[in-house]
Structure 1
Amino acid sequence: MKMLIDGCEVDASNGRTIDVTCPVNGSLVGTIPAATEQDMEKALAASVKGQKAWQAIPLREKEQILDRFEELLEENKKEILTVVCKESGSSLRNGLMQIQGLPQLFRGYLETAKRYNGHLMVPGIEAGHDGKTENDMQLVTYEPVGTVLAIVPFNASIMLFAYKAAPALAAGNAVIVKPPTTNPLAVIMICKLLWQAGVPGSTLQVITGNGGEIGDYLSKDPRINAVTLTGSTEVGVHIAEIMAKKLSPCALELGGNDPFIIMEDADLQAAIADGAFWRMNSAGQICISPKRFIVHNSLKEAFTQGVLEFTKTIHMGYDMDYDAEVEKFLNLDFSKMAHAGMIMNPLISERAAKTVEEQIQKTAAQGAKILTGGRRNGCFIEPTVLGDVTRDMDIMKDMEIFGPVLPICGFDTEEEALEIANQSSYGLSGCVWTKDWKKGMRMARAIQSGGVVINGTGTYRNMMHPFGGYKHSGMGREGFMTLGEMMQEKVIIMKDFYRAD
């Protein structure tokens, strides 16, 4: 598959390519160009004219483009879903969730843009620099920031692409997309459909290749006016430093080590079902999946047995036939896929799986007991439950495990649970289980994270609400109500507009 630059599908200027392989069996899914500086320069130059062209298109015409895009997406969803699953090793549920959410994301941001209509300030509220404002019209308007660089991660690639590209386009910006190197094909396919629907080829472009090289080169260029990134904290801090030197904005959705707190009065069976499923879903490769299970000691043994029973229902997807699965479930609502009978998908790469394997071994060396799992087979990690975990271990602080690993740490008091939850430098999401709503609200307010769910899992994400983290989990927010992060405010003043001559 080729890059998308200035309305053309192109190879790298030096002809270099990168293989895209399926982590289930290592089979070749496709190839992508490894972009050069010359390729990036073409995209940057095109984005300047592309932004102006896109900004000039009225919202009603953008809505017609979106209507056509939704039709094209429906026509091509089978092919896209198959590619999503094969190139990332994604679970079918995850793939369906992404495909089914795309139209809502683009539609929601465009509807929100219709309400960014500016406002008039009441004249004469306070003195201006000349001591008078009562005769002046002060108009607050919103304009696009320019060109937005969207750096997309491997997990939920097309949905997280939409969370970046949809608001940027709705606000009138041009977008240059850097898809994940491991699984970029579906993102490219979606962008081609947007072109086909009517988005100018200079407005939306895709650059593929080495993430570090491309991210650095584009972020440093003055023609990039904002960056939106989902990725590791290390990469996020690096991009923030680059953008700070330009005094340009960036929105960063980074790592997390989310607490899952079970109080002594919790609905234990519901907590087991929710916690075990969401920790193992997508092989644990979800930024807001629960990662630290902080369980009241009176329930710890029963909770442990419950999640161990759940892991027995998980089937390893070593022989996953994505073509057959897509054919079978293509038109099923993703939310209807049962919790039981989960098929464990692989991690995105063998390198990622080896990292998780090492983290499990490190935690065991620190004193934890591997109750089940812990073994790696290629890109697969068996569902793993760790007992005898203590609050001083790395896994209960800042070692985020991006894999199907469920550590259980006991506590005795509410204060202790909160101390364990807040001892991490991360603060993306979290949850607390209790039948006492007052206690739940008290604890939710005390947990240092961008979102907390009471009697549910921190994976709850509504397209409307402002999504993002505290501390090292990022800065900025995503969600329909945060469209303003893709815009800049301008005040236009007409002196003496109201003065009678």
Structure 2
Amino acid sequence: MKMLINGRKVDARDGRTVEVCNPVTNERIDTIPLATKDDIEEALACSKTGLEKWREVPLKEKEKIYERFFVLLKKHKRTIIETLMRESGSSIRNGLFQFQAIPDLFRGYLETAKRYDGKVLVPGTENGHDGKTENDLQLVVHEPIGTVLAIVPFNAPLMLFAYKVAPALSAGNSVIVKPPTSNPLALLKMVELMWEAGIPGDVLQVITGNGSLIGEYLVNDPRINAVTLTGSTEVGIDIATSMAKRLSPCALELGGNDPFIVLPDTDIEKAAKEAVAWRMNSAGQVCISPKRFIVHNSVLEKFTQVALEAVKTIVMGFDMDIAHELDLYIEKDFSELEPGKKMVMNSLISEKAATMVEQQVRMTIDQGAKLLWGGGRHGSFFEPTVLGSVTKDMDVARDMEIFGPVMPIIGFDSIDEAIEIANASQFGLSGCVMTNDWQLGMRVARKVESGNVVINGTGTYRNMMQPFGGYKMSGLGREGFITLGEMVQEKTIIFKGFLSP
């Protein structure tokens, strides 16, 4: 496929490409251009032209464009989900989950934009600079922030594209998208449909290729007015540093090592099954999936046993028939394919990613953990894995995020110790506490240092209305309908003496 720049599908200026491969079979699916600096320059230049046009398009016209896009999206549903599955190695459930969220996200952010109607300040509340403000009319209005760079990760490219692009476009900004190099094809197909629906090609553009080159070049260019990223903490720090030098905003959703706290009064069997279902979902490649299982020692053995029984039912998806899966489930709602029921383990995004998980598991075992189940790598697949005898001083119990299907189980004796273990990480994205005592659950939730804590459910919880984001090294800013303000800037316009008699 080609890049989408200035309304045209283009190759790189020097013709260089990179292969996009199916991580399960290693077969080449397609190629994408490796963008050059000249390609990036063209996108930056025309984004300003696009911005001036798009900011003047009324919301009612944007709404018509979105609705045309949804019609096209539905028409091409199977192609987009199949492409996503083949380039990502992901499950049909993951594809449906992402796909179904897109219309709701665009509609929701547009409806939110309709409510950013500004305000009139009450006149005469204080003297002001000249002591004569009682007859001044002060209007506070919202304007687009400019050109937004949206950096999209591999693990949920369609949904996280929507979380970034929908608010930016609805607020009147132009957008340059940097998709994941490993699996950009479904996203590219979707943007082509958005162009077809009526979004100008200089308003929404996609640049493909080397992430470090493209990201560094764009982030350091003053024509980029804001950055929204889902990615690693290391990359987020670099972006925050660059943007700070020109006082430009960035929204960063970064790493996490989310605690799953199990108190002894809860339904242990239910908690363990929930833990397995949501840890193993999408092969563990979910930012807010539980990653550290902090279990009271009085129920540790039972929790571990139930978890092992659940893990042993998971089937490896080495021979998954994607066409057959699509035939069976393409018209289903993703919620009908509940994690944990006849779970088939999909591959990780690449063999490199699976190898990283393998190394992290070995490191944890070398530090004293016991391998209770799994631990094997098969190409880009990694077996569902349970680690016992994990102690709070091990790397995995603190700052080593394993982005794969691995359950490290850590025992504790007191509530204070559980909170201490949960907060010992530099990360604070999400988390949960399982207990039958709602007041105790609330007390624990208030003390856990993360942007999201669920009582009696997993931290894998994201509602479009909530201000989603993390504490500490898990990021800056928030995503969600109520945070459209991150994509606009406020201006006060004063009519001096307008209210004079």
In structure 1, C-alpha distance between the alignment counterparts of 2:127 and 2:93, rounded to whole Å: 59
Q: C-alpha displacement at 1:340, in angstroms?
A: 1.9
Q: Secondary structure at the match of 1:142?
A: strand
Alignment of 1:167-178 (within 5 A): 167-178=167-178
Give the secondary structure class of the aligned counterpart of 1:32: strand
Matched residue SS, 2:155: coil
Tell me how far apart the structure 2 counterparts of residues 348 and 131 of structure 1 sit (CA, whole Å): 64
2:257 aligned with 1:262: no
Aligned to 1:81: 81
Normalising by structure 2, report the TM-score: 0.99
Q: Corresponding residue for 2:252?
A: 252
- SS at 1:175 equivalent: strand
- What SS does the corresponding residue of 1:407 show, helix, strand or coil? strand
Letter matched to residue 473 of structure 2 = H
Any idea what the Cα deviations from partners look like across 1:11-43, whole Å, max 9, x if unmatched? Answer: 000000110001111111111000000000000
Aligned to 1:38: 38
How far the C-alpha of 1:270 sits from its partner, in A, is: 1.8
Q: Measure the CA separation in 2 of the matches of 1:285 and 1:204.
A: 28
2:351 alignment partner in structure 1: 350
CA contact (8 A) 1:106 1:166 kept: yes
Q: 1:439 — aligned with what?
A: 440
Could you tell me how far apart the structure 1 residues matched to 2:429 and 2:73 are? 31
Partner of 1:476: 477
1:399-418 mapped onto 2 (5 Å cutoff): 399-418=400-419
Structural mapping, 1:330-369, within 5 Å: 330-338=330-338, 339-369=340-370
1:367 aligned counterpart, secondary structure: coil
CA distance in structure 1 between the partners assigned to 2:133 and 2:7 by the alignment: 48
Counterparts of 1:216-231 in structure 2, within 5 Å, are 216-231=216-231
Shift of 1:138: 0.5
Deviations 1:119-144, CA, capped at 9 Å, x for gaps: 00000011110012100001000000
Distance 1:369 1:305 in 2: 14
Give the CA RMSD over aligned residues: 0.6
- Alignment partner of 1:26: what SS? coil
> What does residue range 265-414 of structure 1 map to in structure 2 within 5 Å?
265-338=265-338, 339-414=340-415
1:288-329 CA-to-partner distances (Å, cap 9, x unmatched) read 000000000111101101111111111101111212211211
1:187-210 deviation digits (Å, cap 9, x = unpaired)? 111111110100000000000001
User: What is the CA-CA distance between 1:4 and the residue it aligns to?
Assistant: 0.2
1:393 CA drift (Å): 0.3
State the SS of the aligned residue for 2:20: strand
Secondary structure in 1 matching 2:293: strand
Distance in 1, matches of 2:267 and 2:167, equals: 39
How far apart, CA to CA, are the structure 2 residues paired with 1:63 and 1:255? 34
- Cα distance between partner residues in 1 of 2:135 and 2:267: 63
SS at match of 1:371: strand
**3-state SS of 2:291 partner:** strand
* CA deviation map 1:222-276 (0-9, x unaligned): 1100000000000000011110111100000000000000001012122112111
Question: How far, CA to CA, are the matches of 2:78 and 2:16 in structure 1?
Answer: 30
**Alpha-carbon distance in 2 for matches of 1:496, 1:204:** 42
For residues 116 and 250 of structure 1, what CA distance do their matches in structure 2 show?
Answer: 20
Q: Letter of the 1:419 partner, please give it.
A: E
User: Hey, what's the Cα distance between the residues in 2 that align with 1:269 and 1:71?
Assistant: 44
1:85-164 paired onto structure 2 within 5 Å = 85-164=85-164
Write the distance in 2 (CA, Å) between the matches of 1:38 and 1:305: 58
Tell me if structure 2 keeps the 8 A contact 1:179–1:208: yes
SS in structure 1 opposite 2:18? strand
Secondary structure of the structure 2 residue equivalent to 1:117: coil
Counterpart CA distance in 2 for 1:270 and 1:52 is 54
Residues 148-190 of structure 1: CA distance to partner in whole angstroms, max 9, x if unpaired? 0000000011100000000000000000000000000011111
Instruction: Report what 2:204 is aligned to.
Output: 204
One-letter code of the match for 2:433? V
Unaligned segments of structure 2, at least 5 residues:
none
Query: Residue 486 of structure 2 aligns with which residue?
Result: 485
Paired positions, count: 500
- Are the equivalent residues in 2 in contact too, given 1:353–1:378 (CA < 8 A)? yes
* Shift in Å, 1:407: 0.5
Return the alpha-carbon distance in structure 2 between the equivalents of residues 87 and 241 of structure 1.
32
Residue type at the aligned position of 1:365: D
- Looking at structure 1, the residues matched to 388 and 140 of structure 2 have their Cα atoms a distance apart, in angstroms, of 57
Question: Which amino acid in 1 is paired with 2:141?
Answer: T
Moved >2 Å (runs of 4+) = none
- Structure 2 counterpart of 1:426, one-letter code: F
Residue 163 of structure 1 aligns to which amino acid in structure 2? Y
3-state DSSP of counterpart to 2:298: helix
Checking the alignment, whether the CA contact within 8 Å between 1:313 and 1:340 is kept in structure 2 is no
Q: Is the 8 A contact 1:24 1:320 kept in 2?
A: no
Matched residue SS, 1:461: coil
Distance 1:273 1:404 in 2: 14
Structure 2 residue matching 1:290: 3-state secondary structure: coil
Residue 465 of structure 1 aligns with which residue? 466
Cα distance between partner residues in 1 of 2:323 and 2:12: 31
Give 3-state SS (helix, strand or coil) of 1:150's partner: strand
CA distance, structure 1, for counterparts of residue 306 and residue 133 of structure 2: 68
Tell me, in whole angstroms, the C-alpha distance in 2 between the residues paired with 1:478 and 1:468. 7
Query: What is the TM-score when the length of structure 1 is the normalising length?
Result: 0.99
> Equivalents in 2 of 1:315, 1:24: separation in Å?
15
Contact (CA 8 Å) 1:376, 1:382: kept in 2 or not? yes
Residue 246 of structure 1 aligns to a residue whose secondary structure is coil
Distance 2:293 2:476 in 1: 25
SS class of match (1:477): coil
**Counterparts of 1:18-57 in structure 2 under 5 Å?**
18-57=18-57
Q: Distance in 2 between matches of 1:399 and 1:332?
A: 36
Report the Cα offset of residue 92 of structure 1.
Answer: 1.1
**Alpha-carbon separation, structure 1, partners of 2:174 and 2:323:** 35
What residue number does 2:430 align with? Answer: 429
Question: Which residue matches 2:497?
Answer: 496
CA contact under 8 A between 1:256 and 1:287: conserved in structure 2?
yes
- Alignment-mate amino acid for residue 386 of structure 1: L
CA distance in 2, matches of 1:201, 1:11: 16
Instruction: Give the share of equivalent positions with the same residue, in percent.
Output: 64
Distance between the aligned counterparts of 1:401 and 1:273, measured in 2?
20
User: Secondary structure at 2:299's aligned position in 1?
Assistant: helix
